[in-house]
Structure 1
Amino acid sequence: MPELPEVEGVVRALAPIAMGRTICAVTVSDTVIQSKQLGKETIVKGITTEDLASDLVGMSITNVTRRSKYIYFHLLKNGQTCLLVSHLGMTGAWFTVGSVDDIVELKFRKHVHIILTMDDGELLVYSDIRRFGELRLIGCEADHPPLLKMAPEPFVDGACQHFLEMAATPKYARKAIKEVIMDGQVISGCGNIYATEALFKMHMHPARTAERVSIARKKELFQVIVDILQESIDAGGSSISDYRNIDGQAGTMQDRLKMYGRKACSACGTETASLKIAGRTSVYCPSCQK
């Protein structure tokens, strides 16, 4: 699943291309339309596909930003502002192309679900192989309360203090530290990949409870997470399987990972172990991480 660095890469590439353009047509795949007719919230959330299309036509894209793992398309129409909120799920990807046929990889080309045609004919295409992503058109963040519960961006002042305070609450204190740092209400944008890397660098067992990690160690862990997220942003993110940027390019952070996906520890050579934490497979070194 794309995490903060991957989403940041999409936003940085997308913003200068999309800003200032007006949506003149919207196409929704038959798959999404039929799923919605069956009462399923497939990709398009909280609105019918017909209303999404009619509302988006005529909207100008004034900005594209990131909040945690979400992409915000800031829109303007008849003096009214709104947000198109996009989450990539596990396999979502945006492409800017002249034609759907210009999407290089067949697996993405076969699973195009939303096409926004711009006033200059360029297409802004959302493809999602497993259809776990979402698009939600709202007036502002307050219209979808879960967005207001996200932790501060990890790079801003106060984010570390927020982490320390949340980790000390009864809700999180007895949970595994891996589960805590993957929770978007505690730290924004840190998922399984970068949590795995941070805990390995800290020589910390992923199942250690948050209350058994000292404040000093928590502060150090938070800084390690920030550093790894920034390193990944600089490397274009991790393309483990289905992450691609808007031009179809893969990132290179996967070549720098020290623990995620490893069969043996990159430090001591010990065979790695794994366990399930918060529904995700956590890989760790039983020798280095205690």
Structure 2
Amino acid sequence: MPELPEVETVRRVLKKSLVGKRIKDIDIRYNPIIENDTNSFKENVIGKEIIDIARYGKYLMFCLNKGFILSHLRMEGKYFYMKEKMDNKHIHVVFYFDDDSILYYQDVRKFGRMQYLDGDIYNIPPLSLMGPDLVLNNDISIIDLYNKIHKSNKTIKQLLLDQGIVAGLGNIYVDEVLYASHISPKKKGDKITKRNIEDIIKESKRILSKAIELKGTTIRSYTSSLGVIGGYQDFLQVHTKIVCPNCKMTLNRVKIEGRMTYYCKKCQRWGKWRR
């Protein structure tokens, strides 16, 4: 599943190509991908100009001269931008522009979703229900995040995957952040300290920023649909790895809430400085 760095990479590439283009027509081939009524979606979007491409968490926002298209890629959603015609059974939405260029949305598993929204997009669902974006928000409150996490007895891995707590982290980067913070993914929320939270915020920003710089992590289903191949897979410390790069012990692989989790039982036992 594309996580924050991969979605940010898609945003940057699409922005270079799409800003200033007017949507001439839309072909919706699989209606459930559109969360609005499909006729209403077309009426609201056709004729509009794309003035920006933004992102919050794992959501892409196509900012129109009136309203927004909110897009979530979920497991395997991909965009292809070109002037040539492209056709396969996994293309479910096609945007035609007034200069005859085309944006294809492909989704093998059909889990991705789009919707048209108008108004203050950050104050209406789904974005209003999300936690702070770990890259965009520079003033994340340690106390607020601590209070959200400390009241729960779920594992810290589960809590960091909850987009209502923090926005943008997925399975890969939660493993990496917790390793860098020396926190076991099995540690319960009510055992997390304020210093743990400080470390999580700091390491999240560092790791996500580096991953964005390297255009994300190319692993499994995240591939170069827009001519971009990520490079952060070469910097992963624990996710999909066998041996801890620090203590050289064999890493543990366990499922937490159905998500394969990689961690070092020794290095992630106490948290930094055993606090």
**What TM-score, normalized by structure 2, do the two folds share?**
0.89
- Offset of 1:212 from its aligned partner? 1.6
How many angstroms does 1:3 deviate by? Answer: 0.9
* Gaps in structure 2 of 5+ consecutive residues: 270-275
2:235 aligns with one of 242, 256, 262:
256
1:166 to 104, 123, 148: 148
Aligned to 1:36: none
* 2:15 equivalent to 1:15: yes
2:95 matched to which residue of 1? 116
1:238-277 matches, within 5 Å, as 238-244=217-223, 247-277=226-256
The aligned runs of 1:6-45 (5 Å cut-off) are: 6-29=6-29, 32-33=30-31, 42-45=32-35
Moved over 4 A (4+): none
SS of 2:241's equivalent in the other structure is coil
Q: 1:114 deviation in Å?
A: 0.9
Which deviations, in whole Å up to 9, do the C-alpha atoms of 1:242-276 show, x marking residues without a partner? 22455232211111111111133233333322222
Q: Distance in 1 between matches of 2:147 and 2:43?
A: 44
Shift of 1:11: 0.8
Aligned equivalents of 1:253 and 1:148: distance in 2? 30
Alignment of structure 1 residues 82-121 onto 2, 5 Å: 82-101=67-86, 109-121=88-100
Partners in 1 of 2:236 and 2:164 — Cα distance? 25
| Contact 2:215–2:228 (Cα < 8 Å) also in 1 | no
Mean CA deviation greater in 150-159 or 212-221:
150-159
Identity %: 29
Q: Partner residue of 1:176?
A: 155
Matched to 2:35, the amino acid is K
Give the whole-Å Cα distance in 1 for the aligned partners of 2:85 and 2:267.
48
Does the CA contact (< 8 Å) of 2:70 and 2:116 recur in 1? yes
C-alpha separation in 1, matches of 2:127 and 2:180: 30
User: 1:191 & 1:25 partners in 2: Cα distance?
Assistant: 34
The CA deviation string for residues 1-26 of structure 1, in whole angstroms up to 9 with x for no partner, is 11111111111111121111100011
In 2, the alpha carbon distance for the partners of 1:99 and 1:165 equals: 52
Deviations, residues 21-69 of structure 1 (Å, cap 9, x unaligned): 100011122xx14xxxxxxxx3111323x33334322111111100111
Q: Is the 8 A contact 1:239 1:251 kept in 2?
A: yes
SS in 2 for 1:159: coil
Q: Does 1:197 align with 2:197?
A: no
Give yes or no for the alignment of 1:69 onto 2:39: no
- For each residue in 1:164-196, what CA deviation from the matched residue of structure 2 results, as whole angstroms up to 9, or x when unmatched? 23223x3x3x22111122221221111111110
2:42 is aligned, of 50, 53, 71, to 53
Give 5+ residue unaligned stretches, structure 1: 34-41, 104-108
1:10, 1:245 within 8 Å by CA — same for their partners in 2?
no
Shift of 1:73: 0.7
Q: Matches of 1:246 and 1:64 in 2, distance apart?
A: 17
**Partner letter of residue 27 of structure 1?**
D
Counterpart contact for 2:149–2:192, Cα < 8 Å:
no
Q: AA paired with 2:200?
A: L
Q: TM-score, normalised by structure 1?
A: 0.85
Q: Is the 8 A contact 1:159 1:187 kept in 2?
A: no
Q: Check whether the contact 1:9–1:245 (CA below 8 A) recurs between aligned residues.
A: no
Check if 1:150 corresponds to 2:119: no
* Deviation (angstroms), 1:143: 8.2
- SS of the residue aligned with 2:164? coil
CA 1:190–1:251 in structure 2 vs 1: closer, same or farther (change >3 Å)?
same
Q: What displacement does 1:142 show?
A: 6.7
Q: Alignment partner of 2:67: what SS?
A: strand
Give the distance between the partners of 2:224 and 2:96, measured in 1 at CA. 19
